[in-house]
Amino acid sequence: MANNKTMDEYYEVAERTLPGAGLGGYSLPKDARFVIREGRGGRLISVEGREYIDYNCGAGATIIGHDHPEVISAVQERVAKGMHFFGTLNEAAIELSEVLVDCIPCADRIIFTTTGSEATSYAMRISRAVTGKSKILKFEGAYHGNHDYASFSQFPTHAANYPSASSDIGGVPEVLQDTMMVAPYNDLDTVSSILDEHADEIAAIFVEPIQRIIFPKPGFLQGLRDLADKHNVLLVFDEVVTGFRLSLEGAQGYFGVIPDLATYGKIVGGGGPLGCVAGREDLIDATNANRKGRSDYAYINGTLHGNPIASVAGKATINVLRQPGFYDTFHAQADRYRAAFTDVIKAAGLPAFVPGEASFWQFMFAEKPPANQMDVLASDMPRSAALDAAMLRNGVYVLPNVRRFFSAAHTDDDLDVTLTALEKSCQEISERL
């Protein structure tokens, strides 16, 4: 039986039951908020029947849209056989593991997780267990999930005293700060200096191959690979976002650099709760339950790891991505969309541009694409947020100052609707600011 609550009635409940009337880190402006009832293709439909062009795409997870028939069919068939199992293998998880090992360049083996945050946390544990070293080197402004170790220098307001990490979030024990080091993204010289002094303490370098909307300079990722090899530390790619989005081989295939470990989430579960850590056999085998009792055993376990429903959704999604020419067509579409957005912004006379590559994009008021987090902070973020909020009011779902994505389900009609909304939004903020 359909629930006929209005948006205001739902928000009345949410304001009583959920912090900030939200589901976590984001809360929409009051004049642009809505409640999602369903997703169709590249669109969301609110409880009041309004349609929004969806460029959030489940934080990047729904690369082929919200209701792809192959994914829906696989999930429906699987649900009838049981929602969840624990303690032993299930056929869906095994089948997906074979697909993942086949696609991911660094993967001799994988270990399942429930989320991308779990994956990065466990990859840090594996790195520490195998190397016997306790510190992790990450990059300023990088997001590696919501666990305590990742919660340093995520949202900096000013440049750090490298390599000292800063605490940005309440509730994280200060004692953990000494286990994390930080460097500016795209700065090999600083990374090299840190490793020269601290390599005997550093277990691994953790890097997002694309850090939010910051793309690596030519040679940066290969430079990290070379420095990791030189100093005998592990290189870990956080591919929770880039995995299966940039290419079938993720950032590893797209940029031609192979890490020792890589973490995944989002697309690997086809929009369902699933992630994994992939890597060399000797590293992933640190999680082998037969090692219990050894000092190099990295315990990894979770009730929902290898969930069969998310596993079949992930396998069905990857089967679509494996179709010949998928990424060529997808990236060409994304290029066309970004170019059209840029034309509208230029015509409006706004000092903004559309940074991005492949299926990544964002609006930014700045003179050039950012090379690091300080460049992002130097942009006119309030003005970018104002444009994003206007887009929300005009029926386009983007989160203010947050990277967004294209999906293969977006159509030419979606583009037309977006361009009309962008023209109106540009006019609105030109009048306001």
**Active-site option among 10, 55, 143, 185:** 143
Let me know if 3 is exposed, middle or buried by CB neighbors in 10 A (0-12, 13-18, 19+).
exposed
In the three-class reduction of DSSP (H, G, I as helix; E, B as strand; rest coil), residue 361 is classed as strand
Let me know if 349 is exposed, middle or buried by CB neighbors in 10 A (0-12, 13-18, 19+).
exposed
168 is catalytic: no
Helix then strand then coil, in percent of the chain rounded to 5, is 45, 15, 45
Cα–Cα distance measured from residue 164 to residue 177, given in angstroms and rounded to the nearest whole number: 8
Residue whose C-alpha is closest to residue 241's, from 79, 405, 367? 405
State how beta strands 36-40 and 51-54 pair.
unpaired
Give the list of residues 6+ apart from residue 189 with CB closer than 8 angstroms, or none.
Answer: none
The token pair at 298 is 């990295």
54 is catalytic: no
**Active-site option among 54, 187, 238, 375:** 238
Characterize 179-212 residue by residue with b for buried, 16 or more Cβ atoms within 10 angstroms of its Cβ, and e for exposed.
Answer: bbbbbbbbbbebbbebbeebbeebbbbbbbbbbb
Cα–Cα distance measured from residue 153 to residue 164, given in angstroms and rounded to the nearest whole number: 9
Cβ proximity of 255 and 221 under 8 Å: yes
266 is catalytic: yes
SS (H, E, C) 237-283: EECCCCCCCCCCCHHHHHHCCCCCEEEECHHHHCCCCCEEEEECHHH
**Active-site option among 52, 266, 315, 327:** 266
Cα–Cα distance measured from residue 104 to residue 111, given in angstroms and rounded to the nearest whole number: 13
Residues marked as catalytic: 143, 238, 266
